[in-house]
Amino acid sequence: METIVRLEGVTKAYRGVPAVKNVTFDLRKGEIHALLGENGAGKSTLTKVIAGVVEATSGTMIHHGREVSYKTPNEALEAGIAMVFQETSLVPSMTVAQNLYLGAEKFLNRLRGTYISAQQFLQSLNFPVDPTAMVETLGAAKKQMVEIARAVHHNAEIIIFDEPTATLTPEEKRHFFALVRRLKARGVSIVFISHALEEALMISDRITILRDGELVASGETREFDREKIIAAMVGRTLSAELYRQRDEAKLRKPGHKVLSVQDISMSNIVRNNSFSIFEGQITGVFGLIGSGRTETFKVVAGIYKRDFNRGGTIELDDKPVRYYVPREAVKDGIVYVTEDRKSEGFFETMSIAENIFGGLLAAGHEKAWVINAAEMRALSAEWTKMLNIRAINDNARVVELSGGNQQKVVIGKGLVQRPRVVIFDEPTRGVDVGAIAEIHQIINRLADEGLAVVVISSYLPEIMNLSDRILVCRQGRIVEEFSPAEATEEKIMYAAVH
């Protein structure tokens, strides 16, 4: 089969830190190519280079025999390369049809005409999506369908799927695979990024495996089996240590019941959710995107307000509390470490010292009215050392740090408030492998010190490895509790989707 895209020696570095190192990758016409690797292995970055989302630092890309360099996703799309993102890039406040034709509208745009042609197009793909529905009202699977339809509509000859099945139910997955096969039959080349090895083995023609940004294995799918893939993906002791089954005897016993949540509700995102959080252990919360896991804990931390009527009760040390602003929760020792550090975690134009000091000021532990710069620097030095935050110099703005160091700053900013309950939401999202291990150590240390720790994650191995008990969230409520010693990825996933 002819090679349609070839990357030669591609390196992509973010501020000097390579996410992809010297990778040579080719994609043939009409094949399904699975791209596997751990979190942070560089799968997304590699495909973003192909799709023109980011520019390669060095190396060349050959498309249809010509050397090219797509500088924007639009340029790549014009050339027939579409990418369907992990987190959807749809505009929530527009209808399905409008999203479908986004960026390709005719000069004179008639809404009715758009709906009719969108309807026909969606039907031709056999997608049961209403073209007049607002995207924000759709579930994860339907959003995915709209994304795919958009890629197909642009007559893309290459479609890149970044973790397409993570949010789908098994039924939806079957539909998705059928669609992928149909696309393949039409001669479309597909790059398929996944964590689920079985899916990759089942559907792909060829497999490429990345580890720490480097290509470690590539070949026909029939040459691979599960063990071989895992060996290639992990390939070193660090990861094996990062993610392994917990031993029953090593689980921390629950301490004092610090939080007791009864039937809390917030609009229709959190519904009658009840659970308890104990000191001295890590409570892992697993749930798919849209399951209300983040919203539930944002209610607990006072960031969102629960419903006023029938909103349920939250008891801290058996005393009922109702927070209207996060400030009240912080004063009571409940700290939420966000999943989206850039937009609601750190202060990007400020230094590490100012960020951490900001946490201290806000908690009200700093009684003095006058800011003491020396004290601020000392505090910052203490925390940078404790959390091993690495920066070029003391004046570096947080936005200039690597993802792992940014995350540590956000964690430091929370911990300096001397919390009793710490809620980590996706603590290792967009963080390199080395920093993941360090962040896990920090989290374990907090639980050992007797704090009540909550870890929300959609990455199962992380939940399995960190938690002393696992709560599974689905449709706005905790539906099941597991002990990590007996839980398997399959059981947890089953609870999360059924």
The nearest distance, CB 345 to another protein, in angstroms, is 6
Q: Does 209 bind another protein (CB under 8 A)?
A: no
Which three-class secondary structure state does DSSP give residue 155?
A: coil
Q: Does 413 bind another protein (CB under 8 A)?
A: yes
Closest CA to 79 of 106, 105, 51: 51
Whether residue 189 contacts residue 30, with contact meaning beta carbons closer than 8 Å, is answered with yes
Total site size for another protein, rule CB under 8 A: 60
Q: Does 359 bind another protein (CB under 8 A)?
A: yes
Question: Toward another protein, which CB reaches closer, 32 or 300?
Answer: 300
Residue 388 structure tokens: 């091993």
Whether residue 59 contacts residue 213, with contact meaning beta carbons closer than 8 Å, is answered with no
434 φ, ψ (degrees, to nearest 5): -60, -45
Strands 206-211, 214-220: parallel, antiparallel or unpaired by DSSP?
A: antiparallel
Q: Looking at 34, 45, 143, 452, which residue binds another protein (CB under 8 A)?
A: 45
Euclidean distance between CA atoms 10 and 24, whole angstroms: 7
Q: Does 327 bind another protein (CB under 8 A)?
A: yes
Point out which residues pair with 277 in neighbouring strands.
259
Residues 58-117 that bind another protein (CB under 8 A): 86-87
Q: Does 52 bind another protein (CB under 8 A)?
A: no
Euclidean distance between CA atoms 336 and 414, whole angstroms: 7
The nearest distance, CB 340 to another protein, in angstroms, is 8
Question: Toward another protein, which CB reaches closer, 94 or 350?
Answer: 350
The nearest distance, CB 226 to another protein, in angstroms, is 26
Q: Does 412 bind another protein (CB under 8 A)?
A: no
Residue 15 structure tokens: 């501020």
Question: Toward another protein, which CB reaches closer, 163 or 172?
Answer: 163
How crowded is the C-beta side of 381, counted as CA atoms within 13 Å?
A: 6
**Span from 3-11, 73-81, 399-407, 463-471 in contact with another protein (CB under 8 A):** 399-407
Question: Toward another protein, which CB reaches closer, 201 or 362?
Answer: 362
Euclidean distance between CA atoms 498 and 495, whole angstroms: 6
Whether residue 347 contacts residue 355, with contact meaning beta carbons closer than 8 Å, is answered with yes
The nearest distance, CB 457 to another protein, in angstroms, is 16
The nearest distance, CB 305 to another protein, in angstroms, is 13
How crowded is the C-beta side of 111, counted as CA atoms within 13 Å?
A: 5
DSSP 399-468: GGS-HHHHHHHHHHHHHTT--SEEEEESTTTT--HHHHHHHHHHHHHHHHTT-EEEEEES-HHHHHHH-S
Euclidean distance between CA atoms 456 and 293, whole angstroms: 7
Whether residue 139 contacts residue 474, with contact meaning beta carbons closer than 8 Å, is answered with no
Question: Toward another protein, which CB reaches closer, 152 or 160?
Answer: 160
Q: Does 331 bind another protein (CB under 8 A)?
A: yes
Residues 432-451 that bind another protein (CB under 8 A): 432
Burial class (CB in 10 A: 0-12, 13-18, 19+), 47: buried
Q: Looking at 2, 15, 65, 385, which residue binds another protein (CB under 8 A)?
A: 15
Q: Looking at 326, 434, 450, 461, which residue binds another protein (CB under 8 A)?
A: 326
Whether residue 233 contacts residue 36, with contact meaning beta carbons closer than 8 Å, is answered with yes
The nearest distance, CB 371 to another protein, in angstroms, is 5
Closest CA to 310 of 249, 257, 264, 355: 264
Q: Does 14 bind another protein (CB under 8 A)?
A: yes
Q: Does 290 bind another protein (CB under 8 A)?
A: no
Q: Looking at 116, 231, 378, 399, which residue binds another protein (CB under 8 A)?
A: 399
Q: Does 42 bind another protein (CB under 8 A)?
A: yes
Q: Does 366 bind another protein (CB under 8 A)?
A: yes
Question: Toward another protein, which CB reaches closer, 125 or 321?
Answer: 321
347 φ, ψ (degrees, to nearest 5): -105, 105
Residues that bind another protein (CB under 8 A): 14-15, 19, 40, 42, 44-45, 53-54, 86-87, 301, 303, 325-327, 329-331, 336, 338, 340-351, 354, 358-359, 361-364, 366, 368-371, 373, 393, 395, 397, 399-400, 402-403, 406, 413-414, 417, 429-430, 432
